[in-house]
Amino acid sequence: MAKGLRKGLTSYGDEGFALFLRKAFIKAMGYSDDALDRPIVGITNTCSDYNPCHGNAPALIEAVKRGVMLSGAMPMVFPTISIHESFAHPTSMFLRNLMAMDTEEMIRAQPMDAIVVIGGCDKTLPAQIMAAASVDLPTVVVPVGPMVVGHHKGEVLGACTDCRRLWSAHRAGEIDEAEIETVNGRLAPSVGTCMVMGTASTMACITETLGLSLPMSATIPAPHAERIRLAEASGAAAARMAVDGGPRPSQLLTPRAFRNATVVMQAIGGSTNGIIHLTAIANRTPHRFDLDMLDELGRQVPVLVDLKPSGAHYMEHFHHAGGVPRLLAQLGDLIDLDAGTVTGRTLREIVAEAEDVPGQDVIRPRSAPIKAEGSMAVLYGNLAPGGAIIKQAAASARLLQHTGRAVVFDSVSDMAARIDDPDLDVAADDVLVLRNTGPKGAPGMPEAGYLPIPKKLGRQGVKDMVRISDARMSGTAFGTIVLHITPESAVGGPLALVESGDMIRLDLAGRRIDLLIDDSEFARRQSLLKPSTSAPMPRRGYARLFQQTVLQADEGCDFDFMVRPPDTD
């Protein structure tokens, strides 16, 4: 098999000339023959002025390059799309598949024997891993790391759980304009991803558990020197893999690895977005992600990590308590420790070296969990025949068995226009319903599932209500919120049948979400329904491709033509 510059030669009809021309042009960069004869490690550059989460990417790139060169290989940096959650219109999820395609094709198009992908902000790591799984080139993932905590009036703050909590307090009139502006400058005190157990942190923990990154990679704070040293070590690991030819993603992304990742996602109080991303990653392999397995493990696996929004602490505290290796040690026989990693060692060997920090209370033993059951549960019922998700660890216990009157919003714009209307017919026991916010309906399945509490109820002291939608929500959010209702309303899902005033029942124990109308009325409404998206079919470009081919939430919201057929052996 060809290696280095000889790999994937441009098609000129003359391979000798193709290599001659490639070397002639790359020598214009000042490379020597010695450098060009070595194995090549590609390094993605996802730095962008629009992406503060990746603000440390240049330093990480330099450290990875150093590790590659110290190990005798040649680093080659190349750019890919960079996605930031709050700078992506209409939503970062809309662009995840584009980033996955971009990363995959740039890896295929350019000669490299191994790859280091650097990312962090919510949809970046999933996109990069989806690409790596499809290409199956030896890959090391370097997360950019979480930011450090902020402070305000003696209180520790974290983006973005505290963003939401304090903004809700501002909406309720408890915090004035001057103070909320002060808070705005203190919530994100450094570069890096959100320092709570949001989607970025969830995916970093999943990545480490899958064996695609080095030990402790998920939790080291972005500004710390240790993060730079980890990047250097990752470059060295990639250089070894470039020579050895593995391990490749296909050797690591196995059924037991996906099960391990699911256990960890439940135990950390992980983001519901992690389910969609893990499904999309699994669908790029011969394997699949099973929602029923997720729910079964949710009944067995307790929440052990005391982090917001399910607990009290932040990612840097998780790191100083021993990080993912210590968590895996606490999970014990719930984890298959014989799973492999990019280091060439098994999880068992890594866990054997996990630090035991005296007195830490961030990573709890199984005998004293934060929550007796896992972070997330799967609901079915006549509103969600394909399933729906609730983050039970961040919900209000009193609302987990609840029947209430529906207050329906037909779109994000409809909700924005009416949610704070003083004349809105809404009470604290009602169920807020948002539809046409799924993959096709919005489009892009925005993080709109965290419907705000109507202002008039917020001022009465209402902090939580049952809220249901076919949208997503940020992993930093909290509340009794049912998400990812499948199929979505825009393609004719039952959520489209709900009318304001209908009664809806949430039954967590029974794992159901139901519209309480009789079968004949359900059938009558269904017969009158004309499925249509709230967004018209785009005329051209990526938006049209997305609308035509995106799958539903239970299939990972990938494009239908990117999914690998399941293993039939």
pLDDT computed for residue 158 by the predictor: 82
What is the arithmetic mean of pLDDT over 457-466?
95
Into how many domains does the chain fold? 3
pLDDT more than 90, % of the chain: 90
In this structure, the answer to whether residues 123 and 59 fall within a common structural domain is: yes
Instruction: Determine the length of the chain.
Output: 569
Per 3-state DSSP, the chain is made up of helix, strand and coil in percentages (nearest 5) of 40, 15, 45
pLDDT computed for residue 568 by the predictor: 54
In this structure, the answer to whether residues 90 and 155 fall within a common structural domain is: no
483 phi/psi in degrees, rounded to 5? -130, 170
Give the number of other CB atoms < 10 A from CB of residue 168.
18
C-alpha–C-alpha distance, residues 62 and 282, integer Å: 31
In this structure, the answer to whether residues 196 and 79 fall within a common structural domain is: yes
pTM for the predicted model, two decimal places: 0.95
**Does residue 129 sit within a domain?**
yes
List the structure tokens of 242.
């470039």
pLDDT 10s digits, 121-169? 889 999 999 999 999 999 999 999 999 999 999 888 888 778 888 888 8
Burial of 204 (0-12, 13-18, 19+ CB in 10 A): buried
**Does residue 360 sit within a domain?**
no
Strand duo 40-45 + 74-79: pairing: parallel
| pLDDT band at residue 310 under the 50/70/90 scheme | confident
Mean pLDDT over the full length of the chain: 95
CB 425 within 8 A of CB 511: no
pLDDT 10s digits, 3-13? 999 999 999 99
**Does residue 545 sit within a domain?**
no
pLDDT 10s digits, 172-201? 899 999 999 999 999 999 999 999 999 999
| pLDDT band at residue 530 under the 50/70/90 scheme | confident
pLDDT 10s digits, 25-37? 999 999 999 999 9
Residue 68 has pLDDT above 60, yes or no: yes
pLDDT 10s digits, 372-400? 999 999 999 999 999 999 999 999 999 99
Residue 534 has pLDDT above 60, yes or no: no
558 phi/psi in degrees, rounded to 5? -80, 175
| pLDDT band at residue 569 under the 50/70/90 scheme | very low
Burial of 78 (0-12, 13-18, 19+ CB in 10 A): middle
393 phi/psi in degrees, rounded to 5? -65, -25
pLDDT computed for residue 531 by the predictor: 64
In this structure, the answer to whether residues 79 and 155 fall within a common structural domain is: no
pLDDT computed for residue 157 by the predictor: 86
Which of 148-157, 266-275, 354-363 comes out lowest in average pLDDT? 148-157
What is the arithmetic mean of pLDDT over 22-26?
95
C-alpha–C-alpha distance, residues 446 and 435, integer Å: 11
In this structure, the answer to whether residues 347 and 231 fall within a common structural domain is: yes
In this structure, the answer to whether residues 204 and 84 fall within a common structural domain is: yes
Q: How far is CA 505 from the centre of its chain?
A: 29
CB 269 within 8 A of CB 362: no
| Boundaries of domain holding 401 | 377-535
In this structure, the answer to whether residues 249 and 393 fall within a common structural domain is: no
> Dihedral angle at the C-alpha atoms of 185, 187, 189, 195, nearest 10 degrees?
-170
